[in-house]
Amino acid sequence: MKNETLKILKLIFMVMILLGALSGCKIKDPDVKIIGISAPSNDIQRWAVETIQMKNRLEEKGYEVIIQYASSDVSMQISQIENLIGKDADVLIVIPVEAASLGEAMDMAIEHKIPIISYDMLITNTDAVSYYTTFDNYKVGTIQGQYVRDKLDLDHADRTYNIEFTAGDPGDNNAGFFYKGAVDVLKPYLDSGVLKIISGQDSFGKCATPSWNTEKAQQRAENILASYYNNQDVDIWLASNDTTALGVSSALATSYKGNYPIITGQDCTLINVRNILNGKQAMSVFKDPAMLIDATVNMIDEIILNKPVSVNDTSTYFNGIKTVPSYLCEPTYVDKDNCFEVLTSSGFYTPEQLK
């Protein structure tokens, strides 16, 4: 009888393992911590590169890492996060497709007590976010504004300059910080009349670019050029990032005959850096991913080891429900003069990539 019971138990166990293997589940080894990474898409250079670098760093430290890319689709991201929770992830790193739309998945993370680190883009309208790692987003904007101010020596200007703005996605919490940082630096010159926005499009709402989409930025720039810049120059185009800067430079290439403006950007995306080298974009803000990845990996170690978590900002990032403790990294800029040195010495690009 005893033997028979043992046999039955053994059989049941084997069936369970077989079923588990067939369904792709495996029994979790309690000594291995699982880190889930949920990213919007791997079509965007930043997310493709940074998620893989993060995975490599975490695996070197003995973590198991599962990355899921959501094809820029909110409902796909929600089910992928739910899936990562189902796989018993110990910590989740989430870059939201849409900051305010992850509600259900966030509720599930709270239920399962899984800490969430919002990576670079803040998840809003939920208290599920434990920490936020990003760059100083306001400073990104001030760097762009200061670049323009210094290049044109606006403090000693003996003429006026025409400026247009292209801001980011209204659904991305960072976009308002970038815009405000740039406008705060340039406001004295807008107020004094040294800078003029000929289109009159002078608010974040009027300058925003849904989804940071290059074609939408291009269309808006083409409309502005066609309506206001047939007989005068646009001297500065303050674009918040590289995808929108690309839209602006394409619009200029198709429908502008005047002097080429200073165009700003952010991210040092390869195509934009090539544009910097060939004079089609003036600068880009460099946010060295190594810094952000270090800060995030460090945070994960601290969470897993139950240590106090390193943050350097506890007041800026209110997500609609809570002020999320954040670690902000320092952005810098690159232009034609320093981009080769800065981007190759940091290992961001190889010299061959920039030739």
Footprint on this chain of ligand BGC (rule: CB under 6 A)? 44, 120-121, 172, 174, 212, 241, 266-267
Q: Where are the alpha helices (DSSP H) in the chain?
A: 2-22, 45-60, 74-86, 103-111, 137-151, 173-192, 204-207, 214-228, 242-255, 270-277, 289-304, 339-345
Among residues 266, 293, 273, 292, which one has the least CA distance to residue 344?
Answer: 273
Taking the least distance from each CB to ligand BGC, the nearer of 292 and 303 is 292
Shortest approach of ligand BGC to residue 64 CB, angstroms? 27
Given the complex with ligand BGC, which of 130 and 240 has the nearer CB atom? 240
Residue 114 or 167: the one with the smaller Cβ distance to ligand BGC is: 167
The CA-based angle 267-171-122, given to 5 degrees, is: 65
201/241 with CB nearer ligand BGC: 241
- Look up residue 241 and give its amino acid: N
Query: What is the rounded distance in angstroms from the CA atom of residue 168 to the CA atom of residue 162?
Result: 20
Least distance from ligand BGC to the Cβ atom of residue 172, Å: 5
Nearer of residues 44 and 182 to ligand BGC, judged by Cβ = 44
Determine how β-strand 283-286 pairs with β-strand 64-69.
Answer: unpaired
Our CB check for ligand BGC shows the closer of 119 and 256 to be 119
CA 329 from centre of chain: 13
Measured between its terminal Cα atoms, the distance across the chain in Å is 78
Least distance in angstroms from the C-beta of 267 to ligand BGC:
5
Distances (CA, A) of 133 to 144, 249, 264, 277, 293: 21, 31, 24, 31, 9
- Type and span of the H or E element at 193: none
- Nearest approach, Cβ of 219 to ligand BGC (angstroms)? 18
What minimum distance in Å lies between the beta carbon of 305 and ligand BGC? 29
Q: How many CB atoms lie within 10 A of CB 160?
A: 13
CB 257, min distance to ligand BGC, A: 29
Nearest residue to ligand BGC, scored by beta-carbon proximity? 241
Residue 318 has, within 13 A of its CA and on its CB side, a CA count of 3
Nearer to ligand BGC, 188 or 210 (CB): 210
DSSP of 70-122: -TT-HHHHHHHHHHHHHTT-SEEEE--SSTT--HHHHHHHHHTT--EEEESS-
For ligand BGC, give the closer residue by CB, 34 or 129: 129
CB of 239 to ligand BGC, least distance (A): 10
What's the CA dihedral at 124, 48, 272, 132 to 10 degrees? Answer: 30
Compare residues 91 and 99 and give the one whose CB is closer to ligand BGC. Answer: 99
Cβ at position 169, least distance to ligand BGC in Å: 7
CB of 316 to ligand BGC, least distance (A): 14
Rounded CA separation 332/352 (Å) = 23
CB 82 within 8 A of CB 101: no
In the beta sheet, which residues pair with residue 72? none
Nearest CB to ligand BGC, comparing residues 162 and 240 = 240
Least Å distance between CB 162 and ligand BGC?
A: 25
Chain position carrying tokens 């602006």: 248
